[in-house]
Amino acid sequence: MARRTPPGPDLFDVEQKIIDIDVRDEMQGAFLEYAYSVIYSRALPDARDGLKPVQRRILFGMHEMGLRPDKAHVKSSRVVGDVMGKYHPHGDTAIYDALVRMAQPFTMRLPLVDGHGNFGSLDDGPAASRYTEARPAPAALLMTGSLDEETVAFVPNYDDQLMQPDVLPAAFPNLLVNGASGIAVGMATNMAPHNLGEVIGAARHLIAHPDASLDDLMRFVPGPDLPQGGRIVGLDGIRDAYESGRGSFRTRALARIENITARRKGIVVTELPYLVGAEKVIDKVKTLVQSKKLQGISAINDLTDRTKGLHLVIEIKNGFNPEAVLAQLYKLTPMEESFGINNVALVEGQPRTLGLRELLKVYVEFRTDVVRRRTAYRLRRKEERLHLVEGLLIAILDIDEVIQLIRAADDVATARERLIQVFDLSELQANYILDLQLRRLTKFSRIELETERDELLRDIEALRALLEDHQLLLNLVSDELAAVAKEHGTPRRTVLLESDGVSATAAASTPLEVTDDPCWVLLSSTGLLARTSTDEPLGTGGSRRKHDVIVSAVRTTARGSVGLVTSSGTLVRISALELPTLPPTNGAPTLSGGAPLAAFVDLPAGALPLALCSLEDTGQGLALGTRNGIVKRVNPDYPGNKDEFEVISLKDGDQVVGAVELTTGEEELVFVTNDAQLLHFSASGVRAQGRSGGGIAGIKLAKDAAVQGFWAVDSSAENVVVTVSGSSGALPGTQTGSVKVTPFEEYPAKGRATGGVRCHRFLRGEDALLLGWAGAAPPMAASGNGAAVELPDANGKRDGSGIPAAAPITAIH
């Protein structure tokens, strides 16, 4: 039988009550509740442990999970889930982001989480929590240590099911060491990281001198110490921040200018400003270059790896001053950033802006309270243990009566009451005796108990002294901070600069492009090329060091070109702009800072560099001498659209042995052969030819003889001839030989295409001239490694023998 459903209440038959509420009051109240929640539960750190609620709950959650630095990593998602379910019901994304930040060494000066996996970089985000693993870092144990000793207050979690710490014990000033950033409602915080050892030094000084001034504390903490290093330029803003809690400073990348190749300079960046990634700099530089706002950069390469860390190479175009380009990079790119300090933190539940002294004072007072509460807890536990030990000693002294009393009792309650009455014990002591194991009743156990009692008495006395003497408590806090700094402290990474070291006037006056100033291009005996910064006459004084022997020098301009004559009869164009610049010197220039010739000229196999020459039509052209005795004067009509061209047509088996640039056309051309014959005649007797000409006869050679060297000398100057004899079968550079220096006037002039005169007499074991040279006195000789070799005085006869050389001579100038 179907049941009839009774009629329900009439929905419209109710008394309705509508309350009018001002929407402004409602919105104001809701906004204040929201602002309060953001400020106190999300965005601002506590001034005591320096942690936001989510960070504190992550560390406490890992502590409760039993994770430690010496145990295996666990999945980050496991930590996130546990923290979200128990303590922080605000979504896994917020928790994981906070966990990642505490694991990033470029964000935290002393990371609190040890991450395993991809925890991101300054340019890329981290992997998902299911792909990464985490565990507490050693510093995290300092934050959670002594939590089980009633050092801090515990409060209920969001659903009142569990308890969580209101603040962590924090054995080091985490807020100053790791900094903080957050945006709340109506306020924000932005605090820079600092060096652990410096902050602890300032805290200990404040403990010892409570009235210490800001200047006293800044002797320990001169400025922030950023995780990425870099440089802080300008310290006035730092002092303002330490005094009032608000200020700013400029962070600058650490960059140096160096030769990245033999012909090109570059800017190498090894440290960037705080929280600035390499990709951000690269993208900005590329944008500025494409928009023509930044000039002088040809390429930018990121060579960063795990071994050498950040390594950003910015190549500079030839013709631009690297210093000026670097100044533009600082001005236009994130290689120089401004960091605004806003030290806002919660103090007793209220947001406050704190200076350095106030931050340290809040932490010291908090840590002192933590140590006091820990001491009181340990004292209470020691007293409780002493109470039990004393009761146990009473029972052991009368153990037979205790056993008889317990056996005669009908139940545990009766035994407990009789023990209390007979031996004057407390209920706690009586229960402990009833739970006693029989093996504890030995004689040795009694000795252990007496020893433990004595130790407990000493510990209790020391703990009571700490609680009764506030200065002893402060000393303990200071000693514990010192131990933390010794174990976890690291050297400072950030360099502090009062200024950038360059005045605004000097920076503005530095030209971006290299000016076309006159200079000298030099070639050393070891094959190094360089140019001077001025065209001052080359000095001859000063010390004689490696690479001092310059075999060729040509005056040009910084944006000009010079020619290099090779033994294959070609002339190669070299841009002076690509050559390294030598610093100014008062004496003879040294090419120790030069670049190898091979970096600028790709010579064919067997071709040797001979001399530098000017490419301008300002002189009498080149004079060339070949191995087969041919001489040629070359008209200086060099093509401007070629980088390499012939200056003489050589026959098979012939090669150029000497090249010199003529200035007046009246110089004396000098040939020296390997069989010790010397011929010189006037250059005016040699008609100039075009580049394709093959030259004319210069010296008549004996059978199997060859030209050893060719030079041109100014007959109006004081000239000498240097000859070095030796064995033709010896390896080059292994035989010192005999060296002779003779005045040039000793050799009479002969007609062109003749055999000349004898210039050197061979001694026993010598059969050839290894080296010869003719030019203005005094000459300078060098060994194969460029070291200078002393020569004898110019007093030898033209057909006489030489004296043993001090070292093998390979070049003379």
Q: Which residues are catalytic?
A: 131
SS3 assignment, position 484: helix
**What are the DSSP E strand ranges found in 509-621?**
518-524, 528-531, 550-557, 561-566, 570-575, 595-596, 609-614
**Beta carbons of 162 and 156 less than 8 angstroms apart:** yes
Following DSSP, what letter does each residue of 113-180 receive, concatenated?
EEEES----SSSPPPPTTT-EEEE-HHHHHHHTTGGGT-S-EEE-TTSSSEEESS---SS-HHHHH-E
The 3-state secondary structure of 450-476, one letter per residue: HHHHHHHHHHHHHHHHHHHCHHHHHHH
505: β partners: none
Phi, psi of 548 (to 5 degrees): -75, -25
Cα 121 from chain centroid? 17
- Interatomic CA distance for residues 637 and 647, integer angstroms: 10
Distances (CA, A) of 336 to 205, 242, 266, 271, 811: 34, 22, 18, 11, 50
Q: Which residue has the tokens 């004393």?
A: 390
**Beta carbons of 309 and 498 less than 8 angstroms apart:** no
CA dihedral 416, 422, 428, 434 (to 10 degrees): -50
- Interatomic CA distance for residues 276 and 440, integer angstroms: 66
Phi, psi of 268 (to 5 degrees): -105, 120
- Interatomic CA distance for residues 770 and 740, integer angstroms: 12
Phi, psi of 560 (to 5 degrees): -90, -175
Q: Which residue has the tokens 């144990």?
A: 141
Q: Which residue has the tokens 């052991």?
A: 396
**Beta carbons of 812 and 722 less than 8 angstroms apart:** yes
Helices (H) then strands (E): counts for the chain: 18, 41
- Interatomic CA distance for residues 395 and 402, integer angstroms: 6
Cα 409 from chain centroid? 80
Among residues 287, 288, 281, 248, which one has the least CA distance to residue 267?
281
257: β partners: 267
Indicate the helix (H) or strand (E) that contains 478. Answer: helix 470-488
206: β partners: none
**Beta carbons of 789 and 809 less than 8 angstroms apart:** yes
The three-point CA angle 600-602-608 to 5° equals 100
Is the dihedral angle over the CA atoms 184, 187, 190, 191 positive or is it negative?
Answer: negative
The three-point CA angle 38-39-41 to 5° equals 65
- Interatomic CA distance for residues 767 and 729, integer angstroms: 9
Following DSSP, what letter does each residue of 796-807 receive, concatenated?
--TTS--EE-SS
DSSP 320: B
Among residues 46, 365, 39, 43, which one has the least CA distance to residue 175?
46
Phi, psi of 210 (to 5 degrees): -60, -25
Is the dihedral angle over the CA atoms 761, 765, 766, 771 positive or is it negative?
Answer: negative
